[in-house]
Amino acid sequence: MSTNTIKANRALHRFDGQSEVWLFGYGSLIWKADFEFIERRPARIEGWSRRFWQGSHDHRGTPEAPGRVATLIADPGAICTGMAYLISPEVFDHLDKREKNGYLRELVTIQFRDGDTAQGLAYIAGPDNEAFLGETTESDIARHIARAAGPSGFNRDYFQHLADALRELGEVDPHIAAIERELEKIG
């Protein structure tokens, strides 16, 4: 089931007096920046793990056969690597529509490779949203990804773009690596 979060996100953060906001991307936002940004920097956040536990009913799947896409799961001690973008608040009009299927903007502390930190936002689809598919084995996730497709294309392409982007960053995410191995077995 799809959960439209556009209205909720617009009520969460008003950006009063701010001309620039940091956004942390950990999924398609790493490799698909279809928005204007002022600056882009590799970054990470602590206390979160990337997981393919969120359903995609509007991009990489359909309402009848959702795909699986990345979300963040609270995980003390974990580190999630991604890309941070410095954007103007107006960009959220586009991003709220793009990330509408269960994702809410959450405040996070972003750590850059040079040691600097900044407060920013990340879109996170928590377990309480209707599109959340939940935990299962990497083998089950790979089989699901291998057969799913939606208006934005094949679920497998989304996954592969993310795996390739993480390699370009020099990062290894054990969850992503395990799913990739399972997808290779499927062919």
Task: Give me the active site residues, please.
Answer: 99
- Among 91, 29, 61, which residue's Cα sits nearest to residue 152? 61
Q: Name the token pair of 156.
A: 């497998």
Classified as helix, coil or strand, 173 is: coil
β-pairing verdict for 21-25 and 117-124: parallel
Round to the nearest angstrom and report the end-to-end CA distance of the chain.
29
Classified as helix, coil or strand, 152 is: coil
